[in-house]
Amino acid sequence: MAKRPNTNKKLIGLILIVIGIGVAIWGYQMSESVASQLTRAISGSDTDKVMVCYIGGAASFVAGLFLVAKK
């Protein structure tokens, strides 16, 4: 019974890793849209939605790695 909480944390960590990768890929796909390319051409930076996806994906991925690597 003592190993069950650790297994749950690892499972949640793996789920967070997958979600993080998915959100980052989704952000990349949004950055290739016509509206995002127009915004990037005018302002020189990505839209807020794209940046939120990149940052959220990275945070989820790092949190998942932490949970998987933690003993």
Q: Which domain holds residue 62?
A: 4-69
Determine the Cα–Cα distance for residues 30 and 32; give it in Å rounded to an integer: 5
What pLDDT does 65 receive?
96
What pLDDT does 4 receive?
67
What pLDDT does 31 receive?
86
Number of separate domains in the chain: 1
Q: Is the pLDDT of residue 10 over 80?
A: yes
Q: Is the pLDDT of residue 2 over 60?
A: no
Determine the Cα–Cα distance for residues 4 and 34; give it in Å rounded to an integer: 48
pLDDT in tens, 18-66: 999 999 999 999 888 888 888 888 888 778 888 999 999 999 999 999 9
Question: What DSSP element (H or E) covers 39?
Answer: helix 34-43
Q: Which residues make Cβ contacts (< 8 Å) with residue 50, sequence separation at least 6?
A: 27, 30, 31, 36
Q: Which residues make Cβ contacts (< 8 Å) with residue 25, sequence separation at least 6?
A: 57
